[in-house]
């Protein structure tokens, strides 16, 4: 038995494999691989793999704070901030602490001298400011160095705007002087968490613009107000969840607020505006659009408070205000220089009359009124008398405004009328006479009631200083009004008469022959009764100054007009002969004029231009930046391919 079993070395004679036991003998030819002993039991192995799947997140916030506080630089902090919202908030707290500690002694660094007018560039991905081709942060003031205060700008739109993105910006900007301007538009990925990260990491933020963000609420703006007391400009547009609480927080914490824009925020009303007016004495610009809860109380609080004394720009659009608000503006708006009233359906003639009689708008220089049914001649006359310094007047969509209101102005420099159907040639002539020495620009658009009475005054002893005239889609504007302009406005430089079927060569000739300084930009598009005679005279008299010529839709203009352009125009850079009666001969004439250096050429819809024009177009294309050959049916596909191949630097529309 002792020969069979050797108890001194049982492992040498027996081997365990699964549930069987086999004897090892010298005669055995079966191979058994050597087995390793288990160092631990099964339960212990299970515990080890469970711990291996865990992460640093098991540590408490205090430990993570100490770890992240020792990261070497902003780039490493930015990377860590993009891991999770928890890390985001911890790193934001660290950045806020670092910024607070260094607020008194701002760090600056001189990298290299550069020219004062050199453009500084900022990498949007890394947040690094570049100048002279080298990385830098903040330049100190000096004669040989560029100066920049270190504030960075970030614009996020759509899917790029998320809380993690804002966190990375907040963390990374601390190493480059701090974020100064932030714009976020059209995103559902930004919540109060992201705004809190900005508030904690960017105390130097001065400009904030939030557009179409339905996922942010009052708490996010409250955090911004607490963390960014230097905020100067705030723009809130289409943020439906914001209420007066947001403006109350801004008013309490941001006394340096200069500009406030609120658009389509249905829950913001009078209380928030009243708080802003009482607590922001530096406020100089206010724009409030389409906020149904804003009424007379909010507007009067803004204007009558201490901040109203510095208010220079005011725009009210789509609000439920009445004549009371206009009266307050007319009395308290002593510093207002720009005023825009749009879509105020509850104001009447009395409101505009009282606003002018208030004598508080003596510094007003620019007035825009659009879609206000209460605008009448009486109200406009009162405004003209109460605003002696008024230089720019724009009136849109007014059915009760007529010649009597038009001639009430005496010091205008710029006039723009759109869809004002009560004006006529009488009012226009009276305006030119009263503002002869000051009026520089006049624009009439879609004034369907304009009447041309055939008045052609003799060469008057006075002449207007008018430089720019634009008349579009006013069917009653004809040769008589144009001849009147030609005789009284010899200093015209820019003339745009578009879509006027009543204009013929006879009326335009008066303007061309009486001009004294040379026309620069001429737009005759849609004047279907003009012929080559007008184009030939225009180029002959003004070819040395003419820079832009638009003949789109002048179907009676043909090759003779193009030949005149080729012969006389030496500085012409833009030419549009779309839908004109030109042929290959006219295009060839342009190509042969060596002194021409077009930048933009359009022959859209010229059906008589054929394959023969491909060569001349290639010659012209050496200097072209834009070429429009759409609907030129005479040019084949191979011709278009040749143009595209040769003119690869030019933007070709085909």
How many CA atoms does the CB half-sphere of 585 hold within 13 Å? Answer: 8
Secondary element (H or E) of residue 472: strand 468-472
What's the confidence (pLDDT) of residue 6? 46
Q: What percent of the chain is helix, strand and coil (3-state, nearest 5)?
A: 35, 20, 45
Q: Is 37 exposed, middle or buried (0-12, 13-18, 19+ CB in 10 A)?
A: exposed
Strands, E, within 307-430: which ranges? 313-317, 338-342, 366-370, 392-402, 414-422
What value does the mean pLDDT take over residues 62-74?
78
Nearest 10 degrees: Cα torsion 177, 178, 181, 182: 140
Give the SS3 label for residue 654.
coil
Listed range (115-124, 186-195, 466-475) with the worst mean pLDDT: 115-124
Q: Per residue in 393-403, pLDDT tens?
A: 999 999 899 99
Q: Is 70 exceeded by the pLDDT of residue 106?
A: no
In three state form, how does the secondary structure of 280-316 look? CCCCCEEEEECCCCCCHHHHHHHHHCHHHHCCCEEEE
Cα distance between residue 467 and residue 440, in whole Å: 5
CB 178 within 8 A of CB 202: yes
Q: What percent of the chain has pLDDT over 70?
A: 79
Cα distance between residue 211 and residue 238, in whole Å: 6
What's the confidence (pLDDT) of residue 272? 94
Single out the residue of 232, 184, 185 nearest to residue 204, CA to CA.
232
Q: How does residue 226 score in pLDDT terms, banded at 50, 70 and 90?
A: very high
What's the confidence (pLDDT) of residue 40? 47
CB 339 within 8 A of CB 365: no
Q: Per residue in 180-204, pLDDT tens?
A: 899 999 988 899 988 988 888 888 8
What's the confidence (pLDDT) of residue 590? 94
Which residues have a Cβ under 8 Å from the Cβ of 153 and sit 6 or more positions away? 122, 179, 180, 181, 182, 183
Q: Which residues are bridge partners to 153 per DSSP?
A: 181
What value does the mean pLDDT take over residues 260-284?
94
Cα distance between residue 596 and residue 566, in whole Å: 7
* Radius of gyration of the CA atoms of the chain, in A: 38
Listed range (124-133, 154-163, 281-290, 517-526) with the worst mean pLDDT: 124-133
Q: Which residues are bridge partners to 341 per DSSP?
A: 316, 369
- DSSP state, 162? B
What's the confidence (pLDDT) of residue 174? 65
Q: Per residue in 377-386, pLDDT tens?
A: 999 999 999 9
Cα distance between residue 160 and residue 184, in whole Å: 9
Q: How does residue 206 score in pLDDT terms, banded at 50, 70 and 90?
A: very high
Q: How does residue 59 score in pLDDT terms, banded at 50, 70 and 90?
A: confident
How many CA atoms does the CB half-sphere of 578 hold within 13 Å? Answer: 20
CA 181 distance to own-chain centroid:
15
Strands 121-122 and 129-131: antiparallel
| Average pLDDT of the chain, as a whole number | 82
- DSSP state, 111? -
Phi/psi at 456 (5° precision): -125, 90
Angle, to 10 degrees, between the axis of helix 349-357 and the axis of helix 323-332? 10
Phi/psi at 57 (5° precision): -65, -10
Most distant pair of Cα atoms in the chain: their distance: 148
Angle, to 10 degrees, between the axis of helix 559-568 and the axis of helix 584-592? 0
- In this prediction the pTM is 0.79
Listed range (198-202, 255-259, 386-390, 471-475) with the worst mean pLDDT: 198-202
Q: How does residue 21 score in pLDDT terms, banded at 50, 70 and 90?
A: very low
Q: Is 200 exposed, middle or buried (0-12, 13-18, 19+ CB in 10 A)?
A: buried
CB 568 within 8 A of CB 543: yes
What value does the mean pLDDT take over residues 254-279?
94
Give the SS3 label for residue 444.
strand
Give the SS3 label for residue 104.
coil
How many CA atoms does the CB half-sphere of 356 hold within 13 Å? Answer: 23
Q: What residue ranges define each of the domains in the chain, with the CATH number in brackets?
A: 518-654 (3.80.10.10)
What value does the mean pLDDT take over residues 320-328?
95
Q: Is 60 exceeded by the pLDDT of residue 359?
A: yes
What's the confidence (pLDDT) of residue 461? 53
What value does the mean pLDDT take over residues 263-290?
94
Listed range (104-108, 364-368, 442-446, 485-489) with the worst mean pLDDT: 104-108
Concatenated DSSP letters of 11-44: HHHEEEETTEEEE--TT--------PPPSS-HHH
What value does the mean pLDDT take over residues 573-588?
96
Q: How does residue 52 score in pLDDT terms, banded at 50, 70 and 90?
A: very low
Q: Is 70 exceeded by the pLDDT of residue 69?
A: yes
Strands 548-550 and 600-602: unpaired
Q: How many degrees, rounded to 5, is the angle at CA 523 between CA 520 and CA 527?
A: 145
Q: How does residue 54 score in pLDDT terms, banded at 50, 70 and 90?
A: low
Give the SS3 label for residue 446.
coil
Q: Is the dihedral of CA 502, 505, 511, 517 positive or negative?
A: positive
Single out the residue of 432, 427, 467, 479 nearest to residue 450, CA to CA.
427
What value does the mean pLDDT take over residues 430-439?
88
Q: Is 90 exceeded by the pLDDT of residue 581?
A: yes
CB 162 within 8 A of CB 81: no
Listed range (88-97, 124-133, 327-336, 463-472) with the worst mean pLDDT: 124-133
């Amino acid at each position: 038995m002792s020969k069979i079993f050797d108890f001194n070395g049982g492992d040498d004679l027996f081997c365990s494999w699964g549930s069987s036991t086999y004897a090892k003998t010298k005669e055995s030819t079966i191979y058994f691989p050597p087995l390793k002993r288990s160092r631990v039991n099964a339960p212990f192995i299970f515990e080890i793999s469970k711990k291996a799947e865990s992460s640093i997140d098991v540590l408490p916030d205090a430990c993570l704070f100490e770890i992240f506080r020792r990261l070497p630089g902003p780039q490493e902090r930015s990377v860590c901030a993009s891991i999770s919202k928890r890390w985001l908030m911890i790193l934001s707290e660290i950045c806020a602490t670092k910024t607070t500690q260094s607020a008194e002694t701002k760090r600056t660094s001189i990298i290299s001298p550069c020219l004062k007018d050199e453009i500084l560039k900022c990498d949007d991905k890394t947040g690094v400011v570049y100048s002279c081709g080298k990385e830098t942060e903040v330049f100190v003031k000096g004669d040989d160095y560029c100066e920049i205060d270190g504030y960075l700008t970030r614009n996020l739109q759509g899917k790029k705007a998320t809380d993690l993105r804002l966190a990375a910006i907040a963390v990374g900007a601390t190493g480059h002087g701090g974020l100064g301007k932030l714009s976020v538009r059209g995103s559902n990925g930004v919540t109060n968490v992201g705004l809190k990260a900005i508030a904690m990491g960017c105390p130097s933020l001065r400009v904030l613009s939030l557009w179409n963000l339905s996922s942010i609420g009052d708490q996010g703006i409250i955090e911004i107000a607490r963390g960014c007391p230097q905020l100067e400009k705030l723009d809130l547009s289409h943020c439906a969840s914001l209420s007066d609480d947001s403006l109350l927080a801004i008013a309490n914490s941001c006394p340096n607020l200069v500009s406030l824009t609120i658009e389509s925020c249905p829950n913001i009303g009078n209380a928030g505006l009243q708080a802003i007016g009482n607590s922001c004495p530096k406020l100089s610009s206010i724009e409030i659009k389409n906020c149904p809860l804003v009424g007379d109380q909010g507007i009067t609080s803004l204007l009558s408070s201490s901040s109203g004394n510095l208010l220079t720009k005011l725009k009210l659009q789509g609000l439920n205000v009445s004549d009371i608000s206009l009266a307050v503006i007319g009395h308290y708006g002593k510093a207002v220089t720009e005023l825009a009233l749009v879509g105020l359906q509850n104001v009447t003639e009395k409101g505009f009359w009282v606003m002018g009689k208030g004598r508080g708008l003596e510094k007003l220089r620019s007035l825009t009124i659009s879609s206000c049914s209460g605008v009448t001649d009486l109200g406009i006359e009162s405004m003209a008398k109460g605003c002696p310094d008024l230089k720019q007047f724009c009136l849109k969509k007014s059915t009760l405004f007529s010649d009597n209101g038009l001639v009430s102005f005496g010091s205008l420099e710029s006039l723009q009328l759109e869809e004002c159907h009560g004006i006529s040639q009488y009012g226009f002539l009276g305006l030119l006479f009263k503002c002869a020495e000051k009026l520089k620009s006049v624009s009439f658009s879609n004034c369907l009631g304009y009447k041309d009475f055939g008045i052609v005054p003799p060469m008057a002893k006075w002449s207007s200083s008018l430089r720019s005239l634009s008349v579009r889609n006013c069917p009653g504007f004809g040769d008589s009004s144009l001849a009147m302009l030609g005789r009284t406005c010899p200093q015209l430089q820019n003339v745009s008469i578009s879509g006027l079927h009543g204009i013929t060569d006879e009326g335009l000739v008066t303007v061309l022959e009486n001009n004294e300084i040379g026309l620069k930009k001429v737009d005759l598009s849609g004047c279907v009764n003009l012929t080559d005679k007008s184009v030939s005279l225009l180029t002959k008299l003004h070819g040395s100054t003419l820079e832009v010529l638009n003949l789109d839709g002048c179907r009676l203009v043909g090759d003779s007009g193009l030949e005149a352009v080729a012969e006389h125009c030496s500085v012409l850079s833009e030419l549009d002969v779309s839908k004109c009666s030109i042929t290959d001969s006219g295009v060839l004439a342009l190509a042969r004029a060596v002194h021409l250096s077009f930048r933009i050429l359009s022959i859209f819809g010229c059906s008589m231009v054929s394959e023969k024009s491909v060569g001349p177009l290639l010659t012209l294309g050496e200097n072209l930046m834009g070429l429009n050959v759409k609907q030129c049916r005479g040019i084949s596909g191979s011709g278009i391919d040749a143009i595209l191949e040769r003119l690869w630097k030019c933007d070709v529309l085909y």
